[in-house]
Amino acid sequence: MSSQRQRSDRVLYIITCATPAARDVGKLVSLAQASGWRPFVIVTPSALRFIDKPSLEAQTGYPVRSEYKQPGTPDVLPPADAMVVGGASFNTINKWAAGISDTLALGLLTEGIGLSLPLAALPFLNAAQAAHPAFGRSVRELREAGVAMLLGPAGYEPHVPHQGSKHLARYPWHVVLAAVETGRV
């Protein structure tokens, strides 16, 4: 799909979750724009508390979506060429792996697997959450489904509980974009 479009026509869904990393998702938007993507920001409902919605809408030129559209209304989201999740939460990763699509963000992600889109996720979670057995299973299942789960030295190393905000300056936004750019998925 991406190869069939001009570089500036490539549509990237940037999905963020209710993690401290969501505060800085504009950094990923800037990286995507500089790489020739048209980014559309989709957030989980809880992530609305973390983002600056008007700023992101001004930066992208498009509405930030967090809910399904009303039936019969036009969709502002064009079909995606790729999807990335930056600030992928413990909750979203586990629900995504289980096939739960109770939010717009999860609905798009679960469909993304079925559409064989390039998908990459850069988690943001603490080491106690990462130690939960469900998380390891979810990461394996998503990797088996073709999702680039950027966890560990090549992505994000889970932080000490209650210390997440201290790691924001070093959060590797570029890694999740590079994963779909280079076909690491």
Q: Is 139 a member of any domain?
A: yes
d(CA 171, CA 132): 22
Helix (H) or strand (E) holding 109: helix 104-114
Helix (H) or strand (E) holding 183: none
Q: 43 has which bridge partners?
A: 16
Mean pLDDT, all residues of the chain: 94
Closest alpha carbon to 86 in 4, 153, 162, 30: 30
Give which of 111, 51, 121, 65 is closest to 90, Cα–Cα. 121
Q: Has residue 170 been placed in a domain?
A: yes
pLDDT above 70: percentage of residues in the chain: 94
Distance CA 185, CA 178 (A): 10
Backbone angles phi, psi at 38, to 5 degrees: -100, 100
Ramachandran class of 32: left when φ > 0, alpha when ψ lies in -120 to 50, beta otherwise: alpha
Reported as a single tens digit per residue, the pLDDT across 156-170 is 999 999 988 888 999
Instruction: List beta partners, residue 39.
Output: 12
What is the CATH classification number for the domain harbouring 105?
3.40.50.1950
Instruction: Look at residue 2 and tell me whether its pLDDT is greater than 70.
Output: no
Domain count, the chain: 1
Is 73 domain-assigned? no
Q: What's the pLDDT at 1? A: 42
pLDDT category, 7, cuts 50, 70, 90?
low
Q: Cβ(152)–Cβ(160) under 8 Å?
A: no
Residue 72 lies in a domain: no
pLDDT at 14 exceeding the cut of 50: yes
Q: Is residue 31 part of a domain?
A: yes
Q: What is the per-residue pLDDT for 4?
A: 46
Specify the 3-state DSSP secondary structure of 118.
coil
Q: What is the pLDDT of residues 104-132, one digit of tens each?
A: 999 999 999 999 999 999 999 999 999 99
Task: Judge whether 143 lies within some domain.
Answer: yes
The range of the structural domain enclosing residue 84 comes to 2-65+78-181
